[in-house]
C-alpha cells in the first residue's frame, strides 16, 4: 500500500468477500507477498459467512471439491481444499469417504480458514460509495472504528446477487412471506404451522420442501408450486457440464445479445433445476408418507401424503388476511389450462432465485459508465465484476467451478501480464466451427 495525499492507495480493492472475491484474494496472495500487487478486500459481514439462510443439515455443494477457491487455476496453491483437509487432520477421513461433494458447512469453514490467512481481507466493513478520482477510484467504507477512505487503480465488485421477490404481500408477518435466503432464520416457526406453500422448483425450493416434509409437525400440509412445467432434474451429464467451461463462456460472449437471451431462457436445466439426489430423497419421503397415511393414520385422508406438488402454475400476487392468526391468499394461474384459482396458506416461502443489480454505492457519474462485461469481466475502465455478468457470460457465471478461472482472468487483466497461465481449451465440445476447424482439417470455413 502507498499513500497519495494521506489516503491509502491500492492496486486493487475488492468489494464483498463471497467465494468469488475470496478466490481472487487467495490467488492474489503470492503477488502481495512479493510486493508486486497491493490489494484490499472489504466485506460487510463480521466474518466469512456463506448463505446461512440455507445452511440445512446434510446439504452439499453441487460441484466437486476441486471447484474450491484455487485448484482449477493453481492446483499447487496452499489454499486448496486438500490442504485445508490436511491442515485440519481430516485428509485420510476424506479419502476413505470417497465423496466428491463437501457439505455446505464444510465449504464455509474451508473459506473461513482461507480468509483467516489473508490479512488484507477485512470483515465488518461496508462499502458506502465508490467514485472516480484522479488516482482511479475513491472508496468510502464504514469500519468498526468509523468511516474510512482508500483509493484504488482497480475495483472488483464481488457483492453477489440479491433475492428476487416476484411480488410483495403488504402487511404480512415476517415469517409469513419470506425468501428462501432467510429460511433457516424462520424455520423453527415454519415447522409448527399447519399449512405452508413453497414457490419455485430450483434446488433451494426442493431442499426446503424436503426439510419441511422431514421436520414439520404431523398433519402439516406442504404445497409446492412452480411456474416450470415440471420438477426437473439438473443436467449433470459429462458433456452437458462442458457448458461450465471457459470455452463455452467465450462462445456465449461472442453471440448477439438477443441470441444469448434466448439461449439462457432455454437452459433452465443447466442452472435452475434440482439435483438427482434431492429428487430421489423427496420421492422416498413421499413414498413412505403414502404408506404411513394408509397404515399409520396420522396424516388425514387415506393415501394423502400431506404434500401437494403442482407445476405449471404462475403465482401472480398475494394478499395478507390478518383474521384468525393471519393467512396469505395467493392468486394463481395454471398456465396451460388458463385456469385461475386461489390458495390460502399460513406462510409462503419464495424460492424464486436471485438477481444481479447495479450497486447503490456507485456514484452517478461512475454508474453511467457501466456497460456490458467484456471477456475480462470489465464493465468500465478499471471496474470488474464477478457474478453479475450472466447475460454476457452465460450459465457458468454463478458457478463455483468457474470462480478460480474468472479470478485469474481478472488478475491477469489488472496486472497486464500472465500471472496465471490459463487453459486454451477446456472442453471436448467445440462450440463454434472455428474452434472445431482448429483440430479437424475436414471443416472448411467459408469466408464471406
Ligand atoms: C444456497 C445456495 C447454494 C449454492 N450452492 C452452490 C453450489 O453448490 N455450487 C455452485 O456452483 N454454486 C452455488 N451457488 C451459487 C453461487 O455460486 C453462490 O451463491 C456464491 O455464494 C456466489 O458468490 P459471490 O461471491 O458472488 O457472492 P456472495 O456469496 O453473495 O458474497 C457477496 C458478499 O458481498 C458482500 N457485500 C455486498 N455489498 C457489500 C458492501 N456494500 N460492502 C461490503 N460487502 C458487501 C455480502 O455481504 C456478501 O458476503 C449457491 C447459491 C445459493 C444461494
Judged against a pLDDT cut of 60, whether residue 327 lies above it is answered with: yes
Q: For position 4, what pLDDT does the model report?
A: 58
Going by C-beta distance under 8 Å and a sequence separation of 6 or more, which residues neighbour residue 401? 63, 67, 72, 244
Across residues 231-256, what is the average pLDDT? 96
- pLDDT given for residue 257 in this prediction: 97
pLDDT at 298: 54
Residue-level pLDDT at 296:
72
Calculate the average pLDDT of the chain.
Answer: 95
Which backbone phi and psi does 166 adopt, to 5 degrees? -70, -25
Answer yes or no: is pLDDT of 124 > 90. Answer: yes
For a pocket test of ligand 1, which of 398, 399, 410 has the largest count of ligand atoms closer than 8 A to its C-beta?
A: 398
What residues form DSSP beta bridges with 133? Answer: 136
Pick the residue whose CA is nearest to atom 37 on ligand 1: 159
| Ligand 1 center–CA 44 separation, angstroms | 13
**Ligand 1 within 6 A of 400 CB?**
yes
Q: 92 and 225 share a domain?
A: no
Rounded CA gap, 260 and 372, in Å?
Answer: 13
- Check if 69 has its Cβ closer than 6 Å to any atom of ligand 1: no
267-292: pLDDT as tens digits: 999 988 999 999 999 999 999 999 88
CB 185 within 8 A of CB 163: no
Beta carbons of 10 and 17 less than 8 angstroms apart: no
46 CA to centre of ligand 1 in angstroms: 15
Give the tens place of pLDDT for each residue, 35-59: 999 999 999 999 999 999 999 999 9
Strands (E), 16-75: 39-43
pLDDT in tens, 433-444: 999 999 999 999
Give the position, in ligand 1's atom list, of the atom nearest the Cα of 54: 1
Residue 51 CB–ligand 1 contact under 6 Å? yes
If asked whether residues 58 and 198 sit together in one domain, one would say: no
| Number of domains making up the chain | 2
Question: Are residue 207 and residue 345 in the same domain, yes or no?
Answer: yes
* pLDDT at residue 301, rounded to an integer: 59
pLDDT in tens, 181-209: 999 999 999 999 999 999 999 999 999 99
What value does the mean pLDDT take over residues 232-240? 95
Domain harbouring 228, CATH code: 3.50.50.60
Say whether both 193 and 78 belong to one domain: no
Segment 156-160 shows an average pLDDT of 98
Domain extent for 15: 2-161+356-415
Which residues lie closer than 8 Å to 433 by C-beta, 6 or more apart?
A: 443, 445
What's the CA dihedral at 266, 270, 276, 282 to 10 degrees?
Answer: -60
Output the CA 320–ligand 1 centroid distance in Å: 31
Whole-number Cα distances in Å, 121 to 22, 39, 86, 194: 8, 9, 23, 45
Task: State whether 364 and 381 are in the same domain.
Answer: yes
Q: Which has the higher per-residue pLDDT, 352 or 447?
A: 352
Residue 221 forms part of a structural domain: yes
Average pLDDT over residues 99-107: 97
Centroid of ligand 1 to alpha carbon of 407 (angstroms) = 15
**Domain check: are 116 and 210 in the same one?**
no
pLDDT exceeds cutoff 60 at 388 = yes
Residues paired with 138 in a beta bridge:
131, 151
Atom of ligand 1 nearest to the CA of 159: 34
Q: Is the pLDDT of residue 126 over 60?
A: yes
User: 382 pLDDT exceeds 70?
Assistant: yes
Whether residues 182 and 100 fall in one domain:
no
**439 CA from centroid of ligand 1 (Å):** 38
- Gap from CA of 76 to ligand 1 centroid (Å): 25
Q: Is residue 295 part of a domain?
A: yes
* Residue written as grid cell 476413505: 96
Amino acid at each position: 500500500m502507498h499513500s497519495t495525499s494521506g489516503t491509502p492507495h491500492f492496486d486493487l480493492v475488492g468489494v464483498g468477500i463471497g467465494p468469488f472475491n475470496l478466490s481472487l484474494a487467495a490467488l492474489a496472495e503470492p503477488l502481495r507477498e512479493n510486493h508486486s500487487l497491493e490489494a484490499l478486500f472489504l466485506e460487510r459481514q463480521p466474518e466469512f459467512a456463506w448463505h446461512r439462510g440455507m445452511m440445512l443439515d446434510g446439504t452439499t455443494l453441487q460441484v466437486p471439491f476441486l471447484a474450491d477457491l484455487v485448484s482449477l487455476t493453481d492446483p499447487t496453491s496452499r489454499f486448496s481444499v486438500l490442504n485445508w483437509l490436511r491442515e485440519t487432520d481430516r485428509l485420510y477421513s476424506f479419502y476413505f469417504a470417497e465423496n466428491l461433494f463437501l457439505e455446505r458447512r464444510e465449504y464455509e469453514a474451508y473459506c473461513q480458514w482461507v480468509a483467516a490467512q489473508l490479512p488484507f481481507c477485512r470483515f465488518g466493513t461496508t462499502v458506502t460509495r465508490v467514485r472516480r478520482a484522479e488516482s482511479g477510484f475513491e472508496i468510502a467504507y464504514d469500519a468498526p472504528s468509523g468511516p474510512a477512505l482508500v483509493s484504488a487503480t482497480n475495483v472488483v465488485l464481488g457483492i453477489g446477487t440479491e433475492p428476487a421477490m416476484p411480488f410483495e404481500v403488504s402487511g404480512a408477518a415476517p415469517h409469513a412471506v419470506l425468501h428462501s435466503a432467510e429460511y433457516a432464520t424462520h424455520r423453527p416457526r415454519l415447522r409448527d404451522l399447519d399449512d405452508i406453500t413453497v414457490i419455485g422448483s430450483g434446488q433451494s425450493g426442493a431442499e426446503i420442501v424436503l426439510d419441511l416434509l422431514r421436520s414439520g409437525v404431523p398433519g402439516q400440509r406442504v404445497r409446492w408450486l412452480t411456474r416450470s412445467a415440471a420438477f426437473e432434474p439438473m443436467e449433470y451429464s459429462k458433456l452437458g457440464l462442458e457448458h461450465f467451461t471457459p470455452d463455452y463462456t467465450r462462445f456465449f460472449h461472442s453471440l448477439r445479445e438477443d441470441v444469448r437471451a434466448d439461449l439462457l431462457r432455454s437452459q433452465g436445466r443447466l442452472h435452475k433445476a434440482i439435483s438427482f439426489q434431492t429428487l430421489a430423497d423427496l420421492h422416498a419421503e413421499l413414498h413412505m408418507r403414502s404408506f404411513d397415511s394408509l397404515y399409520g393414520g396420522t396424516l388425514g385422508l387415506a393415501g394423502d401424503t400431506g404434500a401437494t406438488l403442482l407445476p405449471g402454475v404462475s403465482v401472480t400476487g398475494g394478499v395478507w388476511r390478518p383474521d384468525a392468526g393471519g393467512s396469505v391468499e395467493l392468486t394463481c394461474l395454471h398456465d396451460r389450462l388458463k385456469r385461475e384459482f386461489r390458495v390460502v396458506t399460513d406462510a409462503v416461502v419464495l424460492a424464486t432465485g436471485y438477481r444481479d443489480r447495479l450497486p447503490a454505492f456507485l456514484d452517478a457519474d461512475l454508474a453511467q459508465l457501466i456497460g456490458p462485461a467484456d471477456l475480462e469481466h470489465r464493465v468500465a475502465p478499471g471496474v470488474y465484476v464477478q457474478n453479475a455478468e450472466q447475460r454476457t457470460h452465460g450459465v457458468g457465471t454463478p458457478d463455483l467451478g468457474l470462480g478460480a478461472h474468472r479470478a485469474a482472468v481478472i488478475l491477469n487483466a489488472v496486472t497486464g501480464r500472465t500471472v496465471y497461465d490459463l487453459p486454451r481449451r477446456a472442453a471436448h465440445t467445440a462450440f463454434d466451427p472455428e474452434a472445431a476447424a482448429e483440430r479437424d482439417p475436414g471443416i472448411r470455413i467459408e469466408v464471406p
